[in-house]
Amino acid sequence: MIFPTLNINESLKAIKPIIQGGMAIRVSTAKLAAAVANCGGVGVIAASGLTKDELIAQIKQARELMQNNDGLLAINIMFAARDFKDLVHTAMNEGIDLVIFGAGFSRDIFSVGQEYNIPIIPIVSSTKLAVIAKKLGASGIIVESGEAGGHLGTSKIIRDLIPEIKNALAATEGYFKKNIPIIAAGGITSGKDIIEMLKLGCNGVQMATRFVLSKECEVAEEFKKLYIKSKSKDLVLIESPVGLTARAIKTKFVEKFLNGEPVASKYCKSCLKKCSRSFCIMNALHQAQKGNLDEGLFFSGGNIEKYNEILSVEEIFNKLEEEAKEALTVEHALK
């Protein structure tokens, strides 16, 4: 086996150390999550923007589509969402395998995870938060770099961020839980990249943009075509209403926003705990999912130009393993 098992704890393991990013709104759905889990990875349903009933239906659908126990099923939820707690409890009551959260940091969620005996994995971008998360009882951490898409917590590249955080966590051994898995996210596009992250001491990786360009991802074809034709020069950083910098493809909507033209929605459901109301992020992401190139907000990782084809999830996993095998063969030949 090319890739090692991702061990969340003694009883919870995925045979492939690959977590599919939880992309809202309705980009990471049951069909995609189940396909990733069926390949042995961690399939993720994006809970942000869903009602409790919709989330229950998504989890049930994913479980029905999952054919084996080699992979895991998780949710990803933005801490910035007003219904954060309700959706976490809903997922836990439905028996989700683990909870991933980002776009802010919660101290209380770890005790909730302990109550349900469900692992909590925060997305962090700094040494400080990584150490705090470990102290509070995180079952692992996803270290997300400035190369990622969507909301960003740093400008640092993943190859600098991982050693920094790994050393900081190592220094806490003897005080807190000794070992928790570290998952790298942001800028990882190939099997070669995965091998590099494993050599840096990571236990796995998270990939988001790659899985948008899968046959199982239930976004409009216009969304996928935009990804395929976009280059790094088409990406810009914007200030999200959430209060974080975010990376997105420069579309008509983004251009208007950057030029100071009005793009705010007339209707607001107060879905965020704090919102600048510069525009409705939920509506903009929903328009993207539908393929509306004029009014949609299309988040993307920084290496978008490295993707040029739509594959099934199984083909993606096979390709990643072939790339990893090739990288190891070349490395061995050079020794």
At 100-119, the pLDDT tens digits run: 999 999 999 999 999 999 99
- Check whether 287 has a pLDDT greater than 70: yes
Mean per-residue pLDDT of the chain = 93
- Check whether 267 has a pLDDT greater than 80: no
68 versus 72: which is more confidently predicted?
A: 72
The answer for residues whose C-beta is within 8 angstroms of residue 112's C-beta and 6 or more apart is 85, 88, 89, 92, 120
**Rounded to 5 degrees, what angle do the CA atoms 65, 89, 169 make?**
90
237-249: average pLDDT: 94
Dihedrals φ, ψ of 142, to 5°? -100, 115
Q: What is the pLDDT of residue 176?
A: 56
Topology classification of domain 6-217: TIM Barrel (3.20.20)
Q: Per-residue pLDDT tens for 138-157?
A: 999 999 999 999 999 999 99
180-185: average pLDDT: 95
250-260: average pLDDT: 94
- Check whether 242 has a pLDDT greater than 60: yes
Residue 332: band (very low, low, confident or very high) from pLDDT cuts 50, 70, 90: low
Extents of the domains making up the chain = 6-217, 221-304
Q: What is the pLDDT of residue 69?
A: 72
- Check whether 281 has a pLDDT greater than 70: yes
Rounded to the nearest 5 percent, the helix, strand and coil shares of the chain are: 40, 20, 45
- For 183-213, b where at least 16 C-beta lie within 10 A, e where not — what string? bbbbbbbbbbbbbbbbeeebbbbbbbbbbbb
Q: Is residue 308 a contact partner of residue 210, using CB atoms and an 8 Å limit?
A: no
Q: What is the pLDDT of residue 134?
A: 93
